[in-house]
Structure 1
Amino acid sequence: MRALLTTWGSRGDVEPLVGLAVALRGLGAEAVVCAPPDEEFATLLDRAGVPLAPIGPTVRSVTAGAQPPTAQDAVRLASDLVAAGFDTLAAAAEGCDVLLANGMIAAAGARGAAELLGIPYVYACYHLRGLPPRKISPEANGQSAKDAADKAHWEQGQKAIAMFAEALGGHRAGAGLPPVDDFLDYVYTARPWLAADATLCPAPPERTDIGVVQTGAWVLPDDRPLPQELDAFLAAGEPPVYVGFGSMATSSPKDTARVAVEACRARGRRVVLARGWADLAPIDDAGDCLLVGDVNQQALFPRVAAIVHHGGAGTTTTASRSGTPQVVVPQIGDQPSWAARVADLGIGVAHHGPTLTGGSLAAALDTALDRRTRTRARAVADTMRGDGAIVAAELLLDAARPEGPTGIV
């Protein structure tokens, strides 16, 4: 069996697919990951021994420019990625038995590729916001307008239709495929997969309009040793605080680093500062702050006192599994929801807004470094499962069989 797994997004979107590909390989199947051609992602796939089929522009070229992308940029990217589904993706899927797409931006063109090749298609997401929005607005459905999250989710669906539907219709017509009657049903299917841990992100029981398949998070095992300099730094004193924002570009990297380092120093804590796409850097030459690049977070996080991060699905999952308290400083998308869940579980703090100040981080660290928070974080970590990628791989093997499971298209 051969599967094509595709996404277009940051490392937090790509790495789970690599974890799924490795799990499929362990079951005797082959997998190709179709993802953006960022150098970081190519290195990740090469390390895992998983073939990469590049699609679209690099994510960094779109998100980390001098100016943030405009609405017109988003529409143009959406159209380009739909087109890529009907050529690049369809070519990469030749000889495959099933196609799995993560996220709306990849899925809009992916199902067309699956149709052209006559293979099953599966939609998967990493958070509740990736599930299909309801068909009608919360107000029209009799829900309170104060349910901001549900309203935002519905509005997200309307924007997706506006961005993708016209391009999709044109490419389907050009490929000899019939028009789509319901764009949301077409992309999300009636049985979307939720690749998230059930403790950290439980499937919503009220969504009786869809049959959510919760597999658990797709974690790529990482056995890389920590760099010698980092290992020595960790061993040289009390556990430091980790600060990193992954693929997020903060509004002012110098201010972010300064606030983080000074707040940690005020609490007698050293700092492991992750450079990331924000290009964070130490504020001076003092020996209590160590700058790191791409390191094994699975090995690092259990050895720090607290984890200050942006709240991406992958980082939040790894941090939660480590049993170390968190301070989540959400920047965009589903990150505020992850921050709220961390706070609700009592395993860390949800920072208010994307910009750190000395006072806001100081207050958050006081809670995160409290012994009771660490005790709770360790207890929650014990409830989290690590077999999500294997569960999903087995389901995908079922989907690829000629008869297929009910609900997979």
Structure 2
Amino acid sequence: MRGDTTADGTTGNRTLWDRDARRWNDIFGAALDSHRASVGLPPVDDVRSHMFTDRPWLAADPTLGPWPEPADLEVVQTGAWILPDERPLSAELEAFLDAGEPPVYFGFGSIRAPQDLGKTMIETARALGRRAIVLRGWADLALPDDGPDCLSIGEVNQQALFRRVAAVVHHGGAGTTTAAARAGAPQVVIPQHFDQHYWARRVDDLGAGTAHSPGAPTTGSLTEALGSTLRPDVADRARSLAGEVRTDGVEAAARLLVAVDSRSSF
């Protein structure tokens, strides 16, 4: 599921994993070996394998991101590690949600956004007659104007918000993808790099949304993708998928950790 910034779905997964392993060695190998040497330990040939071990745990939902079989490793898939979020939505956000039909959420989280993405998002929502909520995020996405049909927000409880929107348009991070799926919200995924391409394909393959082409969207391309995602059949599939996504990943991992520790083999 992990690749590099050139991953576009045309390179084999095994090749992407090999590149990823070399990158781990290049970035962390010298520092890790230096620390190991200081306490009398031998160097590590493969940093990623050393970290993952031969018994890795996969903190991803088995419906959204199943581990492919047959596999070289014995992988334990616990489900996503997401704790309940009890934070209330702000009064401003609650008022906006109550003022009309469910809006479309747009956000890129901690990802650098293509230029003028905020403007493109609002133009897309308006082209479809929809209100919009835009997460500023690390890219500091800005609204093009102060129209009453759009709202700019900061950090938010996605678990509470995504249950009340018409669709979630995002970059394809594992956390946002899982949060939207658990909430039953249709998704448009605009992947930029790494595993975001994988999550875009999974959302599309599951029929719960649309995989936009990588890179910077135009108003036309995003309007087409969002229009397809807002169809009733896609919304129905997204709601159905929500019932298939596990909500006990953290508990499952904790139980496994306690069981392993009790056998003193961790």
TM-score by structure 1 length? 0.61
2:13 matched residue in structure 1: 149
Q: 2:31 aligns with which of 138, 146, 167?
A: 167
Quote the residue 1:189 is aligned against: 53
Give the one of 129, 132, 138 matched to 2:2: 129
Deviations 1:172-221 (A, max 9, x none): 112211233554432221110000111000111121x2110100011121
Q: CA deviation digits over 1:319-371, x for unaligned, max 9?
A: 01111110011122111111110001010111101211011101101111101
The letter of the residue matching 2:135 is A
Match of 2:137 among 268, 276, 286: 276
Aligned to 2:127: 266
Give the structure 1 partner of residue 227 of structure 2: 366
Could you report, residue by residue, the CA deviation over 1:195-250 in whole angstroms, capped at 9, with x for unpaired residues?
0111000111121x211010001112111221111111111111111001111121
Match of 2:44?
180
Whole-angstrom distance in 2 between the partners of 1:222 and 1:366: 30
Counterpart secondary structure, 1:221: coil
The offset of 1:394, in angstroms, is 1.0
Q: 1:382 aligns with which of 243, 254, 260?
A: 243
Deviating beyond 6 angstroms after TM superposition, the runs of 4 or more aligned structure 1 residues are: none
Superposition pairs of residues 232-381 of structure 1, within 5 angstroms:
232-252=95-115, 255-381=116-242
Q: Alignment RMSD, CA only?
A: 1.6
Confirm or deny that 1:211 pairs with 2:71. no
Distance 2:61 2:23 in 1: 28
What SS does structure 1 have at the residue aligned with 2:62? coil
**1:118-158 superposed Cα distances (whole Å, 9 cap, x missing partner):** xxxxxxxxxx439xxxxxxxxxxxxxxx6533311211112
TM-score, with length taken from structure 2: 0.93
Determine helix, strand or coil for the equivalent of 1:129.
coil
Q: Which amino acid aligns with 1:200?
A: L
- Residues of 2 paired with 1:348 and 1:228: CA distance? 30
The residue identity in structure 1 corresponding to 2:124 is A
Question: What are the ranges of 5 or more consecutive residues in structure 2 without an aligned counterpart?
Answer: 4-9
Cα pair 2:89 2:160 within 8 Å, conserved: yes
SS in 2 for 1:218: coil
| 1:225 and 2:98 aligned | no
Residue 185 to residue 149, structure 1, CA distance change in 2 (3 Å): closer
The percent of aligned pairs where both chains have the same amino acid is 53
- C-alpha separation in 2, matches of 1:168 and 1:215: 28
> Could you tell me how far apart the structure 2 residues matched to 1:181 and 1:287 are?
57
Distance 1:243 1:184 in 2: 34
- Correspondences of 1:5-154 after superposition (within 5 Å): 128-129=1-2, 147-154=11-18
Q: Which amino acid aligns with 1:186?
A: H
Alpha-carbon distance change, 357 to 215 in structure 1, aligned in 2, over 3 angstroms: same
Give structure 1 stretches of 5+ with no counterpart: 1-127, 131-145
Total equivalences in the alignment: 260
Q: Is the 8 A contact 2:122 2:150 kept in 1?
A: yes
SS of the residue 2:2 aligns to:
helix
The one-letter amino acid of 1:129's match is R
